Amino acid sequence: MKIKGAMPTTEGIVVPESLADRIDVRCTAKLRDYETKAINLALTVMAQQFAYEKPVIRNRALLAFIPGFTLSMSLDGDELGMTKSMLVFPLRQWREIADNDPDIPCFAVMEEMCHCFYGIADETEVKKKVVGIVRRFIKQSVTFEQVFPGWDCETSSLRSSTGDHRPRN
């Protein structure tokens, strides 16, 4: 499978060896340094999480980092069919919500990987899973509100009417 506009390398992104058989990474836009570092942290933490608690779904996933909201792909031409889980991350959305905030890319990657590999469809449940992982491997004292500000667990939606999930300073 080919991603239209994908860069030949995913410069700076380091996939931990234990995840190499589970994920592919493609970028159709240049990542900023803080995004690359945050993605690498998320991948490292998820590798630790998978060692701690095996995923329930044995998928191979494509993590695609795109500039906006459009992704184009084509098959190689020799397939009779193709199955791939796609985790797509619109960089513009990250940057509009809180530019230079490494939590956005880190937690977004962790959340989508939990959806994919742990089979969690519910948004509140997957966010709780991510908070547990953050507490286990990054910061033990973090609160749900610090990781997902504005998220209402009762309604599984944002409390903020602006659509932001990060507070503005």
Q: What is the pLDDT of residue 160?
A: 58
Q: What is the pLDDT of residue 80?
A: 86
In a domain, 167, yes or no: no
Task: Please check whether residue 25 is in contact with residue 10, taking contact to mean a CB–CB distance below 8 angstroms.
Answer: yes
The pTM score is 0.86
Residues 131/115, Cβ–Cβ less than 8 Å: no
Low-confidence stretches of the chain (pLDDT < 50) are 162-169
- Cβ neighbours, 10 Å, residue 143: 12
Note down the domain range covering 130.
2-158
User: Is residue 166, in this structure, part of any structural domain at all?
Assistant: no
Nearest to 125 by CA among 164, 156, 163: 156
C-alpha–C-alpha distance, residues 32 and 38, integer Å = 10
The answer as to whether 91 is a domain residue is yes
**Residue written as token pair 């490494």:** 102
Measured between alpha carbons, how far is 83 from 16 in angstroms, rounded to an integer?
23
Query: Considering its fold, how many domains does the chain have in total?
Result: 1
Query: What residues have CB less than 8 Å from 94, skipping those under 6 apart?
Result: 35, 104, 105, 108
Domain membership of residue 90 (yes or no) is yes
**C-alpha 12: how far from chain center:** 16
Q: What are phi and psi of 84, to 5 degrees?
A: -155, 130
pLDDT score, position 169: 32
Residue 124 included in any domain:
yes
Residue 128: both structure tokens together:
């709780």
**Domain-embedded: residue 115:** yes
Give the per-residue pLDDT at 88: 94
